[in-house]
Structure 1
Amino acid sequence: MLVALYESEIDFEPRLVDFADPASSAELFELWPVGKIPLLRDGDHLVPETTIIVEHLALHHAGARALIPSDPALALEARLWDRFFDLYVGVPMQRIVLERLRPTDRRDPLGVDEARAALRTAYSMLEQRMATRTWAAGDSFGLADCAAAPVLFYAEIAEPFSSTHPRVAAYLERLLKRPSFARVLREAKPYLGLYPLRDQMPARLLAACE
């Protein structure tokens, strides 16, 4: 979400939610009982879910850069790959990360194996797609790339792809050099100690957070 906001150069007031602190998270659950972030408050409107927030901003607060193509066919392609990164990279990656937090007697090795296999399938699909592309959808950085940046960053830690999928690795390097994502990573640095797989982070990804 922050990548999209920084790309668009839209003014906003961030609110950090600490889920370990009931007082901090109480307002979020009151506004959106699902308790999932991000949640945008725009006047009297509450807008949940990253993709929907980007769509809302494109409709009502057009920023410095259009993240959704004006061509309907290209817009549909961008939305498809936004979903691809969320569902087929983000979901299995999170499953692997959260396994680290489970008590030993409640571990799910089969589920983790399935998540790793799902990621490898996604990597192979993306490797093929990026053969002749710079960005995931369309000719310029957009919605799908905003979705790709954080999930590929953390997926490289959970189930590394750099040595097996060079085009995906090169794509991640382009994302890391994007000023909007570089800013997000710098701002995340104080919280890296809370990341369950912090001990597995490669040096180049740690350096990207400096």
Structure 2
Amino acid sequence: MMLDLHGHLFSSYTWKALIALYANETPFTFVEMEGDKPLHQQFCGKVHPGGHIPVLVDDGNIVVEATSIVEHLAVHHPGPAPLIPAHPAEAVVARMMDRVFDNYVMGNMQRFVSSWFISRDRPEQGLRETPDAGEQDAARMRLYQAYDWLEDWLGSNRLPPHISLVSCAAAPSLFYADWIEPIGASRPRLAALRTELLALPEVARCIDDARPYREYFPPGAPDRD
């Protein structure tokens, strides 16, 4: 078995795949992006239809999109971590929550970050002196909406046991989104989930490995976490 994960240690979606690999102690080689090359000129940029990271190569088979990578690992490299719940109905809920965290928490976090870049398609071109305020306001409003929905949902539902597809999506989403707009004391269930996820060894490993890259976070990472 030869598994290569191509990505970057500061990338939220790369974390999503790494957490699943760490949880089941799956042997793999991490192939980090070349920092001096634009993404579209690198391996992931050539094999991913959108030129994105991460990309998993499993004995020559290419798997793109972080959610699909976690699903692939659950099928082809299972372990003690229940990445996908065995019960079909519970699996549906897990996939639903994966989409919620990716699209409405992580997506709006990235929308806020993208407001600083000159080009959303070519972020390596540099940062704006002044970010797009309209984009930032819209991203914050959408984050509020997602936070409030999640707080309500957590009040009457339970997430699958860690580490699942949901854990893999929620941990990086909540980690970075809280840097942009703190979850706050008014959402205790969601705040508690973030704290719980960040304490998981697999997530803590991602956080520590990403520390050298915090200066890349515009307009600067907060002095916490």
Q: Same fold (TM over 0.5)?
A: yes
The aligned residue for residue 138 of structure 2 is 114
2:28 to 12, 15, 19: 12
Listed as ranges, the matches of 1:20-99 within 5 Å are 20-22=36-38, 25-99=41-115
1:198 correspondence with 2:220: yes
Distance 2:39 2:143 in 1: 36
Distance 1:142 1:78 in 2: 8
Amino acid at match of 1:178: L
Could you say which structure has the higher helix fraction?
A: 1
* 3-state SS of paired residue (2:183): coil
Q: Which stretches in structure 2 are left out of the alignment for 5+ residues?
A: 1-16, 119-127
The aligned residue for residue 123 of structure 1 is 147
What percent identity do the matched residue pairs reach?
38
TM-score, with length taken from structure 2:
0.81
Compared with structure 1, are the counterparts of its residues 121 and 176 closer, same or farther at alpha carbon in structure 2 (3 Å cutoff)? Answer: same
Distance 1:197 1:150 in 2: 18
Distance 1:149 1:177 in 2: 10
- Over the aligned positions, Cα root-mean-square deviation in angstroms equals 2.1
The aligned residue for residue 170 of structure 2 is 148
TM-score, with length taken from structure 1:
0.87
* Count of paired positions: 200
Give CA deviations for 1:123-159 in whole Å, capped at 9, x if unaligned. 00111122256x6x22443111110001101110111
Distance 2:160 2:61 in 1: 30
The aligned residue for residue 208 of structure 1 is none
Listed as ranges, the matches of 1:167-178 within 5 Å are 167-178=189-200
1:189 correspondence with 2:211: yes
Distance 1:178 1:14 in 2: 20
Q: Which stretches in structure 1 are left out of the alignment for 5+ residues?
A: 206-210
Q: Is the CA contact 1:175–1:181 (under 8 Å) kept in the aligned structure 2?
A: yes
Q: Report deviation, 1:97.
A: 1.5
Q: Report deviation, 1:22.
A: 4.6
